[in-house]
Chains A and B, each alone.
Chain A
């Protein structure tokens, strides 16, 4: 009895508050894809190429003067880590970043710049 009730209420399309925002940019000849999932007081950002690999998974939080971060999955020297720290400091939010950042030292700052640009243009998506 309750089962039917539950599935009925489940069928009413509830508004989705979680929205995934995607964008891409050609950086130094390679297409880089980005996707952001806005969450409450936090966001998850994925950066990668095609075909898409989940890659490493890192989290950073701004706690006082220095942001703190950790690698949840993958390489501990992941390029995501430093970026997550900087984004956490900039936004004051908890930042999850995943992706296979096998980009070189010239590409990485450009990728971060692109993310910052997107944040400025569409602050509601972060």
Chain B
């Protein structure tokens, strides 16, 4: 029951990049999530258009006196697409559940930006990154 039933593909271990893909349906929108782990960065794609869409550079802020309870803080920079508050909010929400220190390049092309859908996608993304 607990095991994820999504069609998870794993690349061969000899290739230096670790790739994971899943396809899920959220609020009846087919969404594809791809995560490529590199030595220096993680490239995450969340797409409902089969395109990269907006590209956001996400880096974790170094917080002095980091306590275990404080949630990690990320700063976002738009590389491609509309640099408007909504883009930053979407990116922040999508990565909010991740706990990684590597910088992330996030590509997102979303038809549905309802808070409940984006939260659901954030869960799937976390699941994918941690596999």
16 A–B contacts, CB within 8 A, in A order: A6-B25, A10-B120, A11-B5, A16-B21, A16-B22, A18-B45, A20-B34, A37-B34, A39-B47, A51-B16, A52-B38, A52-B39, A53-B41, A54-B43, A54-B105, A72-B55
A88 to B12, CA, bound (A): 29
A10 to B2, CA, bound (A): 14
Closest chain A CB from B16 CB (angstroms): 4
Closest Cβ neighbor of B37 among chain A residues: A52
Contact with A along B1-24 (1 / 0, CB 8 A): 000111101011001110101111
In the complex, the answer to whether B5 meets A13 with C-beta atoms within 8 Å is yes
Closest chain B CB from A16 CB (angstroms): 5
A9 within 8 A of B: yes
A39 touching B15 in the complex, CB below 8 Å, given contacts A17-B32, A18-B47? no
B residues near A7, Cβ cutoff 8 Å? 120
B residues near A16, Cβ cutoff 8 Å? 7, 9, 21-23, 32
Closest chain B CB from A48 CB (angstroms): 7
In the complex, the answer to whether B105 meets A39 with C-beta atoms within 8 Å is no
In the complex, the answer to whether A22 meets B34 with C-beta atoms within 8 Å is no
B80 within 8 A of A: yes
Given contacts A16-B23, A53-B39, A72-B80, 15 further A-B contacts (CB under 8 A): A10-B25, A13-B5, A15-B7, A17-B23, A20-B19, A22-B19, A40-B49, A41-B51, A49-B16, A50-B16, A52-B16, A52-B17, A57-B105, A59-B80, A72-B55
A46 within 8 A of B: yes
Contact with B along A83-120 (1 / 0, CB 8 A): 00000000000001010000000000000000000000
B98 within 8 A of A: no
List which A12-62 residues lie within 8 A (CB) of chain B: 12-20, 22, 24, 33, 35, 37, 39-42, 44, 46, 48-54, 57, 59
